[in-house]
Amino acid sequence: MKVLFYTREYPPYIYGGAGVHVDYLSRELAKLMPIEVRCFGDQVVAADQLNVIGFPSDFAFLPATKPEIAGVLKIMQTCLQMNGGTIDADIIHCHTWYGQFAGIVAKLCYGKPLVLTTHSLEPLRPWKREQLGRGYDLSSWIEKTAIEMADAVVAVSEGTKQDILKHFNIPEEKIKVIYNGIDLHEYNPTTETTALYKYGVNPEIPYVLFVGRITRQKGIIHLVHAIEHIHPDVQIVLCAGAPDTKEIEREMKESVSKVQQKRKNVIWIAEMLSKKDIIQMYSHAAVFCCPSIYEPFGIINVEAMACHVPVVASKVGGIPEIVLHGQTGLLVPVKQEEGPPFEATNPQQYAEDLAKAINTLIENKALRKEMGKKGRQRVEQFFDWQAIAQQTKTLYQNMMK
């Protein structure tokens, strides 16, 4: 059995959790079966059972084409290019809407069984219109078409499965919940501190850590607003880059600048750090904070827990399936309007609640240590890539019967 992955992200071009997922899953599955990956970029990898080829998105459009529309059209053109040549896989497996158009074409043109992993859902990310304009309607159509024609859909959490059933016309038996995973050998606490000193973080002083993209989905602005309520002696380290739009980048700069005028221990690292540096940041953090307002899974929480860090996170999406309230961290409810989550209805209250939970852990070192220990145990029990690859293989085998 051979499987072909369609994905936008693949090393070295990874900027989100979906890319991390595809990277590890493809490598783990390649120990069990031949895997081919077709992705966006210029990658070329030829191994015994893992072959990767990148397709550049460098097509030119008429000068009058709106940038956001040109971006979506380039994605569709890349997906068409990815369907050229020979496709000898038994199963097509797509990741995110960026690769789903390629899956649609492959199923129609080659008659291949189609699997999708839903890392997020377009109906629950309405802020994407800020980035894509009317292109958001196209991305939503691609996702809806792909999900409803797929032979199997992988939901990364039970919460995501319920969202799929709510927003799409698909039989429940086609949906399989398979969690994201983590490399337990790679994500381990380290005593190294070179990255901390490089970016001005004092390892002798407790700090709260955020890791993620600058997007409304990740809720980082709420954490920035919470800083004024967090214990003044605590460092705040924001590893935040890759803004979705210039508008949210400007909002982030203004908000961080305002809080930095009041306290000097707020450190914003506006670049995407290497895995080695991120593991150092996790390892020495007192608290990890995930303030997302929409999060189907939240692999960053698993990474932090693997490094023995207690987590303060929003109680949304798949996060409560990862972070156990009172055991591996603290969950903070977010009041939102009915329908797609876009913003907290009371952002000031949410910011204060985040700060309260963070302060609770900052003031109790013994509790932090106990939660960190339990967090690592939970990761080892439920989020090991080897087990996840086996579950995925079983799904493929059932489809071939």
Same domain, yes or no, for 388 and 378? Answer: no
SS3 content of the chain, % helix, strand, coil (to 5): 45, 20, 35
Q: Which domain, by its residues, includes 161?
A: 3-181+384-400
Number of structural domains, the chain?
Answer: 2
Same domain, yes or no, for 85 and 107? Answer: yes
Tell me whether residue 186 is in a domain: no
Tell me whether residue 189 is in a domain: no
Same domain, yes or no, for 229 and 376? Answer: yes
Same domain, yes or no, for 131 and 266? Answer: no
Q: What is the pLDDT along the chain (401 residues), one digit of tens a residue?
A: 999 999 999 999 988 888 989 999 999 999 999 999 999 999 999 998 999 999 998 777 767 788 888 888 999 999 999 999 999 999 999 999 999 999 999 999 999 999 999 999 999 888 788 778 888 999 999 999 999 999 999 999 999 999 999 999 999 999 999 999 999 999 999 999 999 999 999 999 999 999 998 988 899 999 999 999 999 999 999 999 888 888 889 999 999 999 999 999 999 999 889 999 999 999 999 999 999 998 999 999 999 999 999 999 999 999 999 999 999 999 999 987 665 555 777 889 999 999 999 999 999 999 999 999 999 999 999 999 999 999 999 999 999 88
Same domain, yes or no, for 73 and 216? Answer: no
Q: Which long-range contacts (CB under 8 A, 24 or more apart) does 195-203 make?
A: 195/273, 195/276, 195/277, 195/280, 195/281, 196/280, 196/281, 196/284, 198/277, 199/237, 199/267, 199/269, 200/267, 201/235, 201/237, 201/267, 201/281, 201/284, 202/235, 203/284
Same domain, yes or no, for 156 and 212? Answer: no
In the block, tokens 């369907």 appear at 83
Same domain, yes or no, for 22 and 84? Answer: yes
Same domain, yes or no, for 105 and 203? Answer: no
**CATH number for the domain harbouring residue 170:** 3.40.50.2000
Tell me whether residue 255 is in a domain: yes
